[in-house]
Amino acid sequence: MTKESAIKLFEQKQVRSLWNEEEEQWYFSIVDVIAILSNQVNHQGARNYWKVLKSRLLKEGNETVTNCNRLKLVAEDGKMRLTDVADTEQLFRLIQSVPSPNAEPFKLWLAKVGSERLDEIADPEIGIDRLMETYLKKGYSKEWVNQRLKSIEVRKDLTDEWEIRGVKKGQEFAILTDEITKAWSGLSVKEYKNLKELKKENLRDNMTNLELVLNMLAEATTTEISKEKKPKTFQQNKTIAKQGGTIAGNTRKEIEDKTGKKIVTSISAKKLLD
């Protein structure tokens, strides 16, 4: 596992952070965040505040934040020392637990996001409209956004089919997605993201129109084969995922032969929107 360390600035203060490439997850120093939220003037004050807060959260039965990881980060003395860290979800929960004016904007934002999510559950069309608006605000073309929304529909059909066939969400979904991606693009999901220099970003959000089309073809084909074959085991689902991806992969090769251009490229959203 390789890691990249980075410093995040929050209100002109430093928050030590670490990127876990294998998990595709950022981890943030809890003490650094506490120092900002509680206006602690020194590291020891922030450590003491976190110690008291952690004890209170444990008594309340809150394991979301208290079951944190410990990773080595650069300390004030320049040495690598074990430090309590939080992932993004834990960080948001931590912010909710700190009574501070500095935390209030985050709390209001979280409340707004929660309210919007309930609206979307009640009326899924609201979520689609918001998603389109978000993509357009980021600078994507309307044509690309329509293609992306269609790819979400195709993906949902596939995951619904997987659930019917007993495939478990999480790791099993990821393995089958990897099989499809390798079969049509020639790269694993991780290799594909590395090619585009992505970390936490969504791979599909960084695909060109043609990449999206081929990815949709691979997933839609996998769905149709699965509906016909009705696989009963995970291995059978894996075989079908490879078959669906291979059909799209053959199409990719034919297009590349005719155009003389590679379809799978390092072009990401940053370059798409330039």
Contacts of residue 66, Cβ cutoff 8 Å, sequence gap at least 6: 54, 57, 58
Tally the C-alpha atoms within 13 A of residue 87's C-alpha that lie toward its C-beta.
10
pTM of the model: 0.65
pLDDT of residue 251: 97
From the list 215, 217, 220, 218, the residue with the least C-alpha distance to 203 is: 215
Give per-residue pLDDT as tens, 166-177: 999 889 999 999
102-144 residue pLDDT tens? 777 777 766 776 777 777 677 666 777 887 888 888 888 888 9
- With both helix axes pointing from N to C terminus, report the angle between 142-164 and 209-229 in degrees, rounded to the nearest 10: 20
Q: How far is CA 4 from the centre of its chain?
A: 17
CA distance 12 to 27: 19
Residue 54: pLDDT band (50, 70, 90) is confident
Residue 119: the pLDDT is: 75
Contact 214, 263 (CB under 8 A): yes
Q: What is the pLDDT of residue 40?
A: 82
What letter represents residue 68's amino acid? C
| Residue pLDDT, tens place only, 72-102 | 888 877 788 888 998 888 888 888 888 878 7
Dump pLDDT digits (tens) for 179-191: 999 999 999 999 9
- The pLDDT score that the predictor gives to residue 110 is 65
> What pLDDT score does 1 carry?
32
